[in-house]
Chains A and B, each alone.
Chain A
């Protein structure tokens, strides 16, 4: 009997060790990537890098301003499209979970989440780029917005579903009409969860290249015109990293570093904000 217990304790310890080992093993690729990009990229970033557009091959003093501005505008526009639509869809799904529309809409959201981003690019290419006749920032934003939608919808729905019904009852019993109950009580109480879903979706699309290959295309200059091509950080990294020039490789490393830092900061800021604004139920 004692021998058996000894054997089982030993097996338990071995498995515990294996699990801890694998947990660390998972962290290793992440840490290696982080360190490598930081080491290669941090030397590239200086004021010139942030304030100039890429220079022709061979010339010094290029930068990634066009990509920075472009990414900012693209993400801003796609947020403007995706956030209202996504939140409203999420509110509908959480308030009417048993209807047929909710079932099929949920199915579509799940499928949309799994659609490859390149397919999204093809579709928007034929919807917007061809009719418009030119690559444009607006088509890129539409493609990114469609990619943001499933994340925003699901996180809004999950957050609102977790709120107790007593909140709605309290507001309705005061004589508040239904739409005001949703807008002024339910959504504000779920704000932290909804916001974290939004920032998660932004962190996802800011690093997407495939949908922008045929929509926003790329632009060597800083452009504010939404019906013209626009550069973005991941697209610049893709183009310059696959080019044969060392100067451009360096630009790609610098841009990778900036993108990485931005996503990191976004995630941290999200955690801080949601903790601060989390409503104590």
Chain B
């Protein structure tokens, strides 16, 4: 099995006339945690959304180039199929308020009308919630609506929901920026455990977080991928002057 799972070749993305992503080439390996960092407006979130074609939801947004998931170009595949193979966790936790916790976890199947036998559903729910480190806290209130959960717990519920679809890659769009420090550290601890079974790509505004959780880090600036290397090297001995300026805080 090839080790590259996501391969972006000459990706250019536009919002109308605004050239937001300029010729990005990047290869991401299986079971690694990649952090994407950069100042506001550098295009890291745009690029993340290009991976699972969520950028298409914004009117006037288009992407060109080849984005391969496991060797197949996602821009040539059915968008809905692509999104079911790639999980995504957003900045603000967004569990479905009209569904119970149990239903939220299997929402991917439920909303698609895929019916599974109850035993199988129970197994998926328990496994996903355990992987998201939430099982113990909610196992007695699975059929309540998730509104009583704290921000960190809701975010972990969203992670469980993404995991339940058995994706190979999970994308995180600034997953802890809306959370308090304790919830943030519980979610970061989760990244370490999820790595064994999934590939994680995390956009983060927080350099220290990138340094803490990732194997390799990508630095985006003004729509270009400036540097992509092992995290240790990026933060101690970066090759590009712009990266050096960013990590020393000359601009944020």
Taking beta carbons and an 8 Å cutoff, which residues of A are in contact with B?
A: 164, 166-177, 180-181, 184-185, 188-189, 191, 279-281
Contacts and interface: CB of A to CB of B under 8 A. Distances in A.
B112 A189 contact: no
Contacts of A184: 110-111
Most chain A beta-carbon neighbours within 10 Å: one of B54, B81, B84, B96: B96
Contacts of B94: 164, 166-167, 169-170
Given A170-B90, A188-B98, A189-B98, A175 B113 contact: no
A181 B111 contact: yes
A176 B80 contact: yes
Contacts of B158: 170
Contacts of A281: 97
26 contacts: A169-B57, A170-B90, A170-B94, A170-B95, A170-B96, A170-B158, A171-B96, A171-B111, A172-B83, A173-B88, A173-B90, A174-B107, A174-B161, A174-B165, A175-B81, A175-B112, A176-B112, A180-B111, A180-B113, A184-B110, A185-B96, A185-B98, A185-B111, A189-B96, A189-B97, A280-B145
Contact of B83 (A174, A279, A280): A174
A176 B97 contact: no
Most chain B beta-carbon neighbours within 10 Å: one of A172, A174, A176: A174
Given A170-B158, A180-B113, A175 B97 contact: no
A168 B94 CA distance: 10
A170 B147 CA distance: 16
Given A168-B57, A175-B165, A189-B98, 10 more contacts: A169-B57, A170-B95, A171-B96, A172-B54, A173-B54, A173-B88, A174-B111, A175-B80, A184-B111, A279-B98
A14 to B, nearest CB: 46
B195 interface: no
Interface string B100-122: 00000001101111000000000
B223 interface: no
Contacts of B110: 184
Nearest to A280: B147
A191 B96 CA distance: 14
B97 A174 contact: no
Nearest to A166: B94
B52 A167 contact: no
A189 B97 CA distance: 7
A168 B145 CA distance: 18
A169 B54 contact: yes
Given A166-B92, A172-B57, A280-B147, A177 B98 contact: no
Contact of A173 (B81, B87, B96, B147): B87
Given A170-B158, A180-B113, A280-B145, A175 B85 contact: yes
Contacts of B96: 167, 170-171, 185, 189
Contacts, number: 76
A188 B165 CA distance: 22
Contacts of A164: 94
Interface string B105-145: 00110111100000000000000000000000000000001
Interface in B180-202: none
Given A180-B111, A279-B98, A175 B83 contact: yes
B95 to A, nearest CB: 8
B52 A180 contact: no
B217 to A, nearest CB: 24
B50 to A, nearest CB: 13
Interface in B43-101: 52, 54, 57, 80-85, 87-88, 90, 92, 94-98
Nearest to A183: B111
B84 A175 contact: yes
A176 to B, nearest CB: 5
Contacts of A177: 80, 112
A166 B173 CA distance: 13
Nearest to B84: A175
